[in-house]
Structure 1
Amino acid sequence: MLLDAAQWQDKIFIDGAWEPGSGGTAEVSEPATGASLGSIGIAGTGDLARAAESAAAAQREWAALPHSRRAAVLRRAAALWAEHAEDISWWNIREVGAVPGMAGFAVHNAEQECHEAAALPGRSYGELLPSEEPRLSMAARMPAGVVGVISPFNVPIILGIRSVAPALALGNAVILKPDPRTAVTGGVTIARIFEEAGLPPGVLQMLPGGADVGQAMVEHPLVRVISFTGSTEAGRRVGELAGRHLKRAHLELGGNSALIILDDADLDAAVNLAAWGGFFHQGQICMTTGRHLVHERLYDEFVDRLAAKASALPVGDPATGQVALGPVIDAGQRDKIHALVSASTGGGARLAAGGTYEDLFYRPTVLADATPDTPAFAREVFGPVAPVARFTTPEEAVRLAVTSEYGLSLGIVTGDAMRGWELAQKIPTGIVHINDQTVNDEANAPFGGVAASGTGSRFGGPAANVEAFTETRWITMRGKAPTYPF
């Protein structure tokens, strides 16, 4: 059994073995019920140092293997995601609070990420360059070495595997630090998949831990690239520390994505898109539609319809019932959501639906009459909250869209797709969807944001992955050594 607890319980994965971590253990809790699902090992900074040494040694042998051997491991990993989809999805539902559809999508995406990565080892890894000298001149892509991956709690499978798989395929070793709150889904599962797929010992290490372990990872000289997904606040610290240590950091950070509904939009379609973009996975997605901008001609009816839909959506335990929303991850996240909703209504926004919770189940919430000063409009909520603002002209919609410091995803709903495309050119984001909502993901598509949302499209697609996880080397060869003047 892939996730047999007897193997990983109270352990980390280091140097090819499941061992206790020096940081003790942490309980794995089910957000929906508070029940214990087991416990994981927690790494300390000493474990990180050991893992870095082990990974660096293993990386050299891994990179030296024929490209077909590396590709075969990635293909086997893809098959294992499919083979164990039911078991992995069960953990995703229980540990993360994902509804079954979200859990299944995450496993499917992980399978596709491995398929896409399996094609990377066989790709051309360089180019011939013209030279003024009688020599062969070329630029070659080389593995970066050891890649540190720091992944968050909210979509732990996807946000871990999308860095782990291509980094491994391109000849790197990886140290994965998942969020301890979802370390079985986002850490143990990935380690077990590659262990079963035949990845040599030491090439992948899995160390759940706190901020001290993340800092040690960024600081360690053998870790040459950091791939971080998380909040903008934490990402700034990671980027600053990485810069101090002269290493690359690929940062996929927060978002507060806008959905613009133009005056010629189909209202039924717009409400459906807004509900999905705003409430899916309890709003705990970086691409969540955080700002709903609606033309004044449609505004009142849109608010009424979205509020009615929100009020009718079932919220509950996704492991036991047919629900649209499960629990948020913990009480701290719930209280942050509620504080933003309360501050928004206190500042003049109208509560059209929701705004209440029971335990960790937060009702989908609609805040009408939002402005750029409304706290839930101005900040990333990371919860099922839909602030709605009105506009009168496309120019005003653009002004509202660009008020945010973030630049991750953008959705535009219109009866004229070219009109939406023209509007999108005025709003800088890393992703844009015409006649769709803001939450989309495919393994072969570039993913990333601009401004406070991160450092660009460093995930998805062969070009982005090769750029992210390799270094460029200039190489020349002569048949005979030249003679220099002295």
Structure 2
Amino acid sequence: MTLLDSAVWGGKFHSDGWQDSPTEQPVTEPATGDRLGTVGLATAADVNRAATRAAEAQRGWAATSPQRRAAVLRRAGELFTEHAAEIEDWLVREAGSVRSKAGFEAGLAIGECFECAGLPTHPQGEVLTSEDARWSLARRRPAGVVSVIAPFNFPLILGLRSVAPALALGNAVLLKPDPRTAVSGGVVIARIFEEAGLPAGVLHLLPGDGAVGRAVVEAPEVRVISFTGSTPVGRAIGEQAGRLLKRAHLELGGNNALVVLPGADVAKAASAGAFGSYLHQGQICMTTGRHIVHESLVEEYTAALAAKAEALPVGDPAREDVALGPIIDRRQLERVHGIVTDSVAAGAKVAAG
């Protein structure tokens, strides 16, 4: 049996073991529309049960020795290394990643686990100044239950970068991946830590819709929310966390600019611009959303960037060596197409594509 054999997780979510779900969602390959399996969806009631169980399990996990917690993180890093090829395949087929991007993301996951293995033995406090002839100490304690809501674009690392440090420092975690990448952004993490020896009840995998997202924010046991995604959803989570007096860590959308000034090497600038705009089909919050070019260079730069775009091979990254794979789903495709058509209607010209 492989790490990600669907016999383990098909039609299930993970909460104190793999649980059958009455509601299943197909796992779809965006490049072809093929069905790769099914994943079980959680409900708000499932989240509430998981939060209660996580709070119970967290107390024992926090009391576990630092070296034991570090060993689980190190073993997770070893397992990511051993199963890197299988994980990369899922990132290619489910998330539409080109092979180089999938390898980069899987490599980041390995490093994240080994890096976080050092956290349990870090100093957990400090000596405070005092006017009196006595010691005043501050001691850091685990927060308790942490909810992690991760997106579809870099599903593995954008979930793991919050899950791994939270676990290393003695917290329990409720992980809600984007349902479109529930395997590469959720099942992978759950299976790795299951095999690494993480105690039952400490990590829960809860794919689902907006109601599940609200539940992992509002569950009374949850003290910290880590969200990566769109600005409108992040704003709503921040507002709700403020009302509930919970800590929220939000990484939201961007509209980032590449500035090209006189004296620039136009060929190198266009190469950087193409990488910034087209990596993972532009589905990245740090993508180059705007190219701000000095008027003396705009024609030369536009021609160079268009030539780069025209030369990028497009196709199915699971079957071809391509630079551009699929957009994650039709809704996103229509949004991108709308940006192009609206721009043309406003007077822009299509230089490539």
TM range (shorter): over 0.9
Q: Tell me the residue number matched to 1:9.
A: 10
Cα deviation code 1:221-250 (max 9, x no counterpart): 100000001000110111111111110111
Cα deviation code 1:309-333 (max 9, x no counterpart): 1112111100111111000000000
| 1:148 equivalenced with 2:129 (yes/no) | no
Aligned-pair distance for 1:87? 0.4
> How far apart are the structure 1 equivalents of 2:199 and 2:44?
24
Cα deviation code 1:161-208 (max 9, x no counterpart): 010001111110000000111000000000001011111111110000
Q: Tell me the residue number matched to 1:242.
A: 241
> How far apart are the structure 1 equivalents of 2:20 and 2:299?
58
> How far apart are the structure 1 equivalents of 2:9 and 2:216?
22
Q: Tell me the residue number matched to 1:20.
A: 20
1:279–1:325 Cα contact (<8 Å) kept: yes
Aligned-pair distance for 1:350? 1.4
Which residue identity lines up with residue 18 of structure 1 in the other structure?
A: W
2:234–2:252 Cα contact (<8 Å) kept: yes
| 1:326 equivalenced with 2:344 (yes/no) | no
| Secondary structure at the counterpart of residue 315 of structure 1 | coil
Report the TM-score when normalising by structure 2.
Answer: 0.98
> How far apart are the structure 1 equivalents of 2:61 and 2:313?
49
Aligned-pair distance for 1:21? 2.8
1:19-98 alignment runs, 5 A limit: 19-21=19-21, 24-98=23-97
| Secondary structure at the counterpart of residue 290 of structure 1 | strand
Q: Tell me the residue number matched to 1:443.
A: none
Aligned-pair distance for 1:137? 1.1
| Secondary structure at the counterpart of residue 320 of structure 2 | coil
| Secondary structure at the counterpart of residue 138 of structure 2 | strand
Q: Tell me the residue number matched to 1:194.
A: 193
Give RMSD over aligned pairs: 0.9
2:12–2:20 Cα contact (<8 Å) kept: yes
Q: Tell me the residue number matched to 1:370.
A: none
Aligned-pair distance for 1:136? 2.4
Aligned-pair distance for 1:298? 1.8
1:167–1:174 Cα contact (<8 Å) kept: yes
1:21–1:44 Cα contact (<8 Å) kept: no
Tell me whether 291-300 or 187-196 shows the greater mean CA deviation. 291-300
> How far apart are the structure 2 equivalents of 1:120 and 1:263?
46
Q: Tell me the residue number matched to 2:203.
A: 204
- Which structure's CA Rg is the greater one? 1
Tell me whether 1-10 or 124-133 shows the greater mean CA deviation. 124-133
1:21–1:47 Cα contact (<8 Å) kept: no
Which residue identity lines up with residue 13 of structure 2 in the other structure?
A: I
Q: Tell me the residue number matched to 1:427.
A: none
Q: Which has the higher helix share?
A: 2
| 1:182 equivalenced with 2:177 (yes/no) | no
Q: Tell me the residue number matched to 1:344.
A: 343
| Secondary structure at the counterpart of residue 141 of structure 2 | strand
Which residue identity lines up with residue 108 of structure 1 in the other structure?
A: G
> How far apart are the structure 2 equivalents of 1:265 and 1:85?
39
> How far apart are the structure 1 equivalents of 2:142 and 2:93?
37
> How far apart are the structure 2 equivalents of 1:296 and 1:171?
55
Aligned-pair distance for 1:348? 1.2
> How far apart are the structure 2 equivalents of 1:133 and 1:199?
44
| 1:216 equivalenced with 2:220 (yes/no) | no
2:172–2:202 Cα contact (<8 Å) kept: yes
2:266–2:304 Cα contact (<8 Å) kept: no
Cα deviation code 1:298-357 (max 9, x no counterpart): 211110011111112111100111111000000000001111110011101111111xxx
| Secondary structure at the counterpart of residue 351 of structure 2 | strand
> How far apart are the structure 1 equivalents of 2:70 and 2:120?
6
Question: Between the two proteins, what is the percent identity of the paired residues?
Answer: 60
Aligned-pair distance for 1:134? 4.2
Which residue identity lines up with residue 175 of structure 2 in the other structure?
A: L
| Secondary structure at the counterpart of residue 181 of structure 2 | helix
Which residue identity lines up with residue 189 of structure 1 in the other structure?
A: V
Q: Which has the higher strand share?
A: 1
| Secondary structure at the counterpart of residue 153 of structure 1 | coil
In the alignment, structure 2 segments of 5+ residues that lack a partner are none
Aligned-pair distance for 1:279? 0.4
> How far apart are the structure 2 equivalents of 1:77 and 1:102?
21
Which residue identity lines up with residue 246 of structure 1 in the other structure?
A: L
1:287-326 alignment runs, 5 A limit: 287-326=286-325
Runs of 4+ in 1 over 3 A off after TM superposition: none
Aligned-pair distance for 1:135? 3.3
| Secondary structure at the counterpart of residue 199 of structure 1 | coil
Q: Tell me the residue number matched to 1:103.
A: 102
